[in-house]
Amino acid sequence: MRAVPLALFSGVGLVSAHFQVDYPAWRADSLAENTTYDQWDYPCAGVPYGTGNKTEWPIQGASVALDLHHPWTYLYINLGLGENATNFNISLTPQLLNVTGSGNFCITDLPIPSTIADGQAGTIQVVTNGQSGSALYNCADIVFRSSVQALSDGTCANSTGVTATIVGQAATSSSSTPTPTPNSAPVGALGSVPRVAVLGTVIALIQGVMML
Ligand SMILES: [Cu+2]
């Protein structure tokens, strides 16, 4: 494992790290240089509401596609309702995920509350934790649309070697354990860890990895 140069902590160089939200499109590129954006900043990396993207997002078959840049990541996704939401009190990942590997990671069929109606505005907040215990944030602004289709097969996929487990779920637990995160995707190539929930399919495409 390589050492992290101390110079990185002085600021320059950190911008290529952390993670990206590919779908729904993030509010703005929080890794962009020459901004005050900072993924350490709650709730949305310092990106003001209305800065950029807003995506029509399906009520049925909602998925979130990420590009993770760290070797492993604790991950959860919250939903805040309304324009310029500040209360992200709806959990779309009721159980904390531990994602191993860097690259593309996609979760399908997120459990959208049944009370959500067509045209409801909201913001998705993606939170990751790494080794330091500190959290990183990114947001994506959305409008729920019943007419919008879920991402088709193949577009919501994991990079090779990117897998996820449910934190706290015993690896040897019985088959009666409910599947925590709704996910219709098949279990992909996997063998090292039993009882692993693979979220999304594994594609034979190795992304350019930005470790730092
Ligand atoms: Cu980072």
Mark the ranges of the chain whose per-residue pLDDT is less than 50.
Answer: 1, 4-15, 172-212
Distance from residue 137's CA to the centre of ligand 1 (Å):
11
Q: How far apart are CA 86 and CA 50, in angstroms?
A: 13
Distance from residue 16's CA to the centre of ligand 1 (Å):
7
What is the tens place of the pLDDT at every residue in 27-55? 999 999 999 999 999 999 999 999 989 99
What is the model's pLDDT at position 142? 98
Distance from residue 84's CA to the centre of ligand 1 (Å):
26
Distance from residue 212's CA to the centre of ligand 1 (Å):
6
What is the model's pLDDT at position 170? 59
The structure tokens listed for 29 are 């590129």
Distance from residue 69's CA to the centre of ligand 1 (Å):
7
Distance from residue 145's CA to the centre of ligand 1 (Å):
33
What is the tens place of the pLDDT at every residue in 52-81? 899 999 999 999 999 999 999 999 999 999
Is 16 exposed, middle or buried, given 0-12, 13-18 or 19+ CB atoms closer than 10 A? Answer: exposed
Q: Assign a CATH topology to domain 15-202.
A: Immunoglobulin-like (2.60.40)
Distance from residue 73's CA to the centre of ligand 1 (Å):
10
What is the model's pLDDT at position 9? 41
Distance from residue 38's CA to the centre of ligand 1 (Å):
11
What is the model's pLDDT at position 171? 52
Any idea where the domains of the chain sit in the sequence?
15-202
Distance from residue 19's CA to the centre of ligand 1 (Å):
7
Distance from residue 70's CA to the centre of ligand 1 (Å):
6
Distance from residue 95's CA to the centre of ligand 1 (Å):
23
Distance from residue 117's CA to the centre of ligand 1 (Å):
35
Ion ligand 1 — residues with CB under 5 Å? 17-18
What is the model's pLDDT at position 16? 53
Distance from residue 27's CA to the centre of ligand 1 (Å):
18
